[in-house]
Amino acid sequence: MMKYISTRGNAPELTFEDVLLTGLATDGGLYVPKDVPKYSLEEIESWRDLPYTELAHKVVYPFVEGCVESDALKGMLEDIYNNSNFGHKAIAPLQQLDHNEYVLELFHGPTLAFKDFALQLLGRLLDYVLERRNEKVVIMGATSGDTGSAAIEGTKACRNVDIFILHPHGKVSEVQRRQMTTVTGDNIYNIAIEGNFDEAQDMVKASFGDQTFLRGERKLVAVNSINWARIMAQIVYYFYSSLNLGGPLRPMAYSVPTGNFGDIFAGYMARKMGLPIEQLIIATNSNDVLHRLMSKNLYEVRPLQHTITPSMDIAVSSNFERLLFDLYDRDGKALADLMTTMNKRTETVSLDEEKLAKAREIFDSLGVDEDATVETMQQVFKETGYLLDPHTAIGVKAARECRRNPNIPMITLGTAHPVKFEDAVLRAGYKMPELPHHLTDLMAREERMSVLPSDIEAVHQFIAENTFGK
Ligand SMILES: *Cc1c(COP(=O)(O)O)cnc(C)c1O
């Protein structure tokens, strides 16, 4: 059975089941697998003809073995990755832009962003585990866009999960709001906070810190990418895309639009498991804390900027700690010290040159501002007639700037559908694309949400009223 350890070396080892139900480790670290399964090229090659669901079973099962029955996992994956849930039969199809240049379309799921790949699975895993333990939990999250709708879609059928998603009232796009508020299910609560995203986020953080409002009857579960189960589900599409382009017999390069470093860390995991990946590109928007660290070896947290790529707007990138853990030879003590310094945010921090050099063997990085994002959308449209969403455009820009070897296929992760990001599409001078066929009635569906003041007591009271005595 796979064991999980904390990056800071001072928390109990956990099973998958406990990791699923835990946010941060008790020492403040993040959980990672203790031993990563490693596959030979022959073994990976033997998976070439598997459809997405079967490949997902190969990749995911070793991480959950002992906690989830093989057949139960198979059932969940079949329930998720099929043509009635995903709007494309290939689940994660490749779109070619140029010779040896591709976009991996990860936006055919129910909410049109890659987060569906993981949150659909997370919801089913939670319900499976909670059913067996005869427990119920509360999911609480704040969203400025993609995470909230994907979490709601992923948990709407859960019997043992009530989900409360806070969004800033009037400050998310209509498509994104409707993707949250029109989902039916008596365990779903959309809270529109009369305040901004940061206030909503702060209330969620404070609630995780002090859960007494749940009277000890329930626990809060995190659905952001500090939850290992999310990373795990995202490893699959690196294998899938590589196998589709002649891997593992030839290496691939990936460019990943990055915020919290979750999606790209999944690529790093695929590489650790034996998939030949030559290069991983960290593509950021002007919230470029990681690009500055990678290029100048200076870690300096700056205030958050709101951009036309809201799903990558972060000040700190939490999953980067999982990579640092490996760079520091999995020395939890060393990492705990490093993270303490990095989290002080009073001065700039540098990594050991030797550790950074190890990262640079695999990773390159680029920060892309709004003008360059829009220009890339226009450039690719002129070249191919294909409209990129602005997050994916950042990935394509970085792929083109940072590519090391033109003979190696370069795959940019297409993280969202452009229809979700009206501001960027209009700014680039294009008409809004049509909603994909499974969402054509989105604008006509009935909405349900509760507007609350930006006051944590009011939010806690609302959660308590709707959680207990149902
Ligand atoms: C969440 C998200 C990202 C960033 O992913 P991370 O795992 O946080 O790096 C990029 N693009 C889109 C569209 C997203 O929704």
pLDDT for position 372:
98
pLDDT for position 201:
86
Task: Please state, in angstroms and as integers, the Cα–Cα distance from residue 94 to each residue in 339, 361, 382, 407, following that order.
Answer: 38, 26, 19, 18
pLDDT average, residue stretch 333-359: 92
Which atom of ligand 1 lies at the shortest distance from residue 420's CA?
13
pLDDT for position 197:
84
pLDDT for position 469:
65
**CA separation for the pair 110, 462 (Å, rounded):** 28
> From the candidates 34, 38, 74, 115, which is the catalytic residue?
115
pLDDT average, residue stretch 194-223: 89
**Residue 123 — very low, low, confident or very high, per pLDDT cuts 50/70/90?**
very high
Bond prior to 51 in cis (omega within 30° of 0): no
pLDDT for position 343:
86
pLDDT average, residue stretch 355-380: 98
Cα 135 to averaged position of ligand 1 atoms, centre (Å): 31
Q: Whose CA is nearest to atom 1 of ligand 1?
A: 311
pLDDT average, residue stretch 34-43: 97
Q: 224 and 263 in contact (C-beta within 8 Å)?
A: no
**CA separation for the pair 191, 211 (Å, rounded):** 18
**Residue 470 — very low, low, confident or very high, per pLDDT cuts 50/70/90?**
low
Whether the pLDDT of residue 347 is over 70: the answer is yes
**CA separation for the pair 89, 110 (Å, rounded):** 13
Whether the pLDDT of residue 453 is over 80: the answer is yes
Whose tokens are 């009277």? That residue is: 215
Which atom of ligand 1 lies at the shortest distance from residue 234's CA?
7
Q: 72 and 45 in contact (C-beta within 8 Å)?
A: no
420 carries an active-site annotation: no
Q: 275 and 239 in contact (C-beta within 8 Å)?
A: yes
Cα 131 to averaged position of ligand 1 atoms, centre (Å): 30
Residues 155-188 pLDDT 10s: 999 999 999 999 999 888 888 899 999 999 999 9
pLDDT for position 410:
98
Question: Phi and psi at residue 250, in whole multiples of 5°?
Answer: -135, 150
Closest CA relative to residue 400, chosen from 441, 372, 430 = 372
Q: 3.40.50.1100, 3.10.20.30, 1.10.3720.10, 1.10.760.10: which CATH number matches 94-111+228-427? A: 3.40.50.1100
Residues 269-282 pLDDT 10s: 999 999 999 999 99
Q: Range with the lowest mean pLDDT among 95-99, 110-114, 167-171, 414-418?
A: 167-171
Which atom of ligand 1 lies at the shortest distance from residue 257's CA?
10
pLDDT for position 125:
97
Distance spanning both ends of the chain, measured CA to CA: 37
Q: Whose CA is nearest to atom 2 of ligand 1?
A: 311
Cα 137 to averaged position of ligand 1 atoms, centre (Å): 25
Whether the pLDDT of residue 464 is over 70: the answer is yes
Task: Please state, in angstroms and as integers, the Cα–Cα distance from residue 62 to each residue in 16, 38, 52, 248, following that order.
Answer: 10, 11, 17, 20
Q: Range with the lowest mean pLDDT among 104-118, 204-218, 227-241, 447-461?
A: 204-218
**Residue 235 — very low, low, confident or very high, per pLDDT cuts 50/70/90?**
very high
pLDDT for position 65:
96
Structure tokens at 384: 């191919």
Tell me the pLDDT of the chain averaged across its residues: 95
**CA separation for the pair 116, 385 (Å, rounded):** 26
Which atom of ligand 1 lies at the shortest distance from residue 150's CA?
15
CA angle 281, 284, 289 (to 5 degrees): 105
Q: Judging by beta carbons within 10 Å of its beta carbon (0-12, 13-18, 19+), is residue 344 exposed, middle or buried? A: exposed
pLDDT average, residue stretch 380-402: 98
Residues with CB under 6 A from ligand 1: 113, 115, 146, 225, 257-263, 311-312, 391, 415-416
